[in-house]
Amino acid sequence: MRKAIVLIMCFLCLTGCSKKDNNVENNLDSHSQDTEFKLKKIDEEKDFVVVNENQRILVNNEEYVLNTLQINLNSEEVANVNLEIKTFVNNSIKKFVLNGNELQQGNIINYDYYVSQDYISIIQRYHLYYDGLIGEEKDNVYVVSLHTGKVVNSLELLSNYNLDEDAFYKLLEEKIDSEDKLFTLLNIKNHGYSLYVNNENKLCVIYREITDDSNIKKELSLT
C-alpha cells in the first residue's frame, strides 16, 4: 500500500512539472489537444511574428529600413496573409522612384503587431511619400486566431467579444472622444473601420474622423 502511494505522488509531481511557463504557448497547445487540428509554428525557434529586412534606402536624407513581416504559424490561411504582406511590399518596391538610393516617390511602410493569448494582429501601415510630402496613412489589418490558424474578420471578432454591430456602435458612442459623437459615428459607418486585438487581448478599433478641413486617423480600445 505504501509503495502504491509513493508511485501516485511521483506521478503527480511529474505531471505538475510539465506545464509550460509561456501563457500563449500553453493556451495554443491545450486547445490543440481538444481538436484534431494541431497548430504549429513554422520555425519553433522563432517568435510568432518574424521581421525580415527587405531594403535600406534614404528618405529625406535619413536611412529608412523597409521590412517584411511573416506570421510564424503553419496554416494555409496564414500562408496567404504572409504572401499578401510580401506582395504588397514587393509591388511597392517596383513602383519606387529613386534618385540614386534616395526615395523620390513611393510607399513608406511600417508595422505594428500584437500577440495575445488568442490572436495575432498585424497592422501594415503605409503612406505615399512624394518629394518630401507625406500622404494620408492607410492600413492593411490582419487578425489570425492562435487556436485555428484562420483569419478572423470584423464580424467574427465582434461575435467573439459578445458584440453585434448595434452593440459595437453603442460602445463606440460611449468611448469616442469627439465634440460631435453622432457625426463621428456617421463617419465611421460611411468610411468603415478595422478591428484588431492588442497584447492584453483587448478589442481595439481604427477609424477616421473626417471633416471638410481634416482627415484624422484614431484608434481606441473597446474592452
pLDDT above 80 for 145 = yes
Q: How confident is the model at residue 183 (pLDDT cuts 50, 70, 90)?
A: confident
Phi-psi region of 50 (alpha: psi -120 to 50; beta: other; left: phi over 0): beta
pLDDT higher than 90, residue 215: no
Cα 110 to Cα 35, 64, 95, 128, 168, distances in angstroms: 36, 10, 17, 12, 28
Phi, psi of 23 (to 5 degrees): -65, -40
Confidence band for 25, pLDDT divided at 50, 70 and 90: low
CA dist., res. 58 & res. 64, Å (int):
6
* φ, ψ (nearest 5 deg) of residue 65: -105, 115
* pLDDT for the residue numbered 176: 87
Mean pLDDT value across the chain: 85
Measure the CA–CA gap between 172 and 155, rounded to whole angstroms: 15
- In this prediction, residue 24 carries a pLDDT of 53
**Percentage of the chain surpassing pLDDT 90?**
69
Q: Is the pTM of this model over 0.85?
A: no
Residues 8-18 have a mean pLDDT of 37
Q: Which pLDDT does position 37 carry in this prediction?
A: 57
Mean pLDDT of 204-217: 84
Say which residues have a Cβ less than 8 Å from residue 1's Cβ, sequence separation at least 6. Answer: none
